[in-house]
Structure 1
Amino acid sequence: MLDVRSVDVHYGQFHALRSVSYSIQPGEIVSLLGGNASGKSTSMKTILRLVRPSGGDIVFDGRSTAHESTADVVRRGIASVPEARRVFPEMTIEENLLVGAFTRRAGAAALRADLQTQYDLFPRLAERRTQQAGTLSGGEQQMLAFARALMSRPQLICMDEPTMGLAPIVVEQVLDTIERINRELGVAVFMVEQNAELALSIAHRGYVLVNGAVRLSGTAAELLANPEIREAYLGQTAQVV
């Protein structure tokens, strides 16, 4: 569904992504792992056309995105849950959700049906639909960010650090919600995360970025068992038996 092919990104003289390649198939959860300044967020911004690559290509659903805008790729089926949620704080929950459908040419009846779908999926949002988004807890804002992304009826949702800054009990709820979105709605998920253990606990596959290049890839189970991953990201030193 999504093929990132030998993509390079430069910020001036800084080479942020170095011939990066990876793929996401329909219905998958794929995690992109790496430390600070490894290129994770740049990679996601490149998919969303917020950053333009200096080389390589990104192909979505069989067609290059090279000449498309961010609105174009959203309209084609790629949605975003940005880092730190970034809801519109002074707008109500329902207004935030309607913003998520801005690229669609849907009638009032279709929008009402989609709103109801989100309220069924996230009952807390239904209870507070007229409440300003800025007054919600961090976990509730994350649910709103998920629901807002789903309002565009995406095939793929890109999530940037979806568990950042949340209490452990809320993190578990967020991970459960991501799995539910993937399982029940069939939406593929591309998740950028620093916490490898959390990300790989729900992912099907993963890639590891180091200094802007893909260093490792494999199934979630393979990466969790990899000594290099265990030492770098899980704080476990492999023992020789």
Structure 2
Amino acid sequence: QQSLASEQQRLAADQQRMAAERQSQAAQADRLAAERAKAEADLARAAAEKASADAVAQQQLLAQQAAASKLAAEASERGRLTAEAEKQQLRDQIRQQLNSILETRESARGLIVNLSDVLFDFGKYTLRPGTREKLALVSGIILAHPGLRMEVEGHTDSVGSEDFNQKLSEQRANAVKDYFQENGVQGGNLSAKGFGKTQPVASNDNAQGRQKNRRVELVVSGDVIGTQQSTTTTQPTTVPAQQR
């Protein structure tokens, strides 16, 4: 009986030890689960904080880029306005210089320099000495500004045949162009065209009007004075048919 009691006590002790071990294991499992949950929470919080910091950094970067773009745009606009002002200033200067030699006016095509009919002999295209002197001065102005180009356009009144007037306008335009080239103006910056009697600026019914229509015009253009290359396809000035 004593041996049986001793065995029972040993079994009871083993059961208590096993129960204690199970409790210890359960407690350890709970602790590990808690630590894992805490670690996951810490990771999630760190990820959230990083995402928030990244978002703030991205916003700051975008704000900096926007500010830089704005400054660049403002600088570009100031540069554009300055360039335009400089071109206008140069345009005004050249117009005044040309106008001191020959009548010069503003137009969308550029500066229009007018060579009146009195600079040629009647019905001729030979340049008079006085005309050559004036054109030499114009050449000097053009040569001083390499970005300029000229289109020489010849016009006549309505007296005479259409073929005669067309040919005369071309001959006068080419005579002026050739003289400019002789004075050093590059051919690539020059062109010449005759319009005959197709673009009157006054009535052809009287001598005064016909004299105004007999002319050679120099169209001075170029980006340096804020005018792109002009074209010679301008529409004729409208003058009533009965006055031509």
Using the size of structure 2 for normalisation, the TM-score is 0.23
Q: Which of the pair has more CA radius of gyration?
A: 2
Using the size of structure 1 for normalisation, the TM-score is 0.23
Q: Which has the higher strand share?
A: 1
Q: Comparing both chains, which one has the higher relative contact order based on Cα–Cα distances under 8 Å and sequence gaps of 6 or more? A: 1
Q: Which has the higher helix share?
A: 2
